[in-house]
Amino acid sequence: MSAHCMLTGTKPGFGNAISHSHRRTSRRFDPNIQIKRYWLPSEGRYVRLKLSTKAIKTVDAIGVEAAVARIRARGVKI
């Protein structure tokens, strides 16, 4: 579960790397996952979230309380 976003659920995609000679080998497209620490005022503690960079922008827009509520609605334990 290392390359999964807690908020959006983004996970790795899979495809092929194509060389100059056009040989195909399998590869993995990982999302840009960052570990970010947010202060959660309702619980009086910090929470550490594994988020994609797109999800970090979403947290900035909707607020950490709403983001944590969405994460918990997905069934992810924080």
- Asked if the model's pLDDT at residue 1 lies above 60, the reply is no
pLDDT band, very low/low/confident/very high, at 16 (cuts 50, 70, 90)? very high
pLDDT reported for residue 52:
97
pLDDT band, very low/low/confident/very high, at 2 (cuts 50, 70, 90)? confident
Average pLDDT over residues 9-29: 97
Please, which residues have CB within 8 angstroms of residue 52's CB and are 6 or more apart in sequence?
5, 7, 8, 10, 31, 32, 33, 34
Average pLDDT over residues 12-29: 97
The DSSP code sequence of the chain is -TT--TTT----EEEEEE-TT--EEEEEE---EEEEEEEETTTTEEEEEEEEHHHHHHHHHH-HHHHHHHHHHTT---
Average pLDDT over residues 32-52: 97
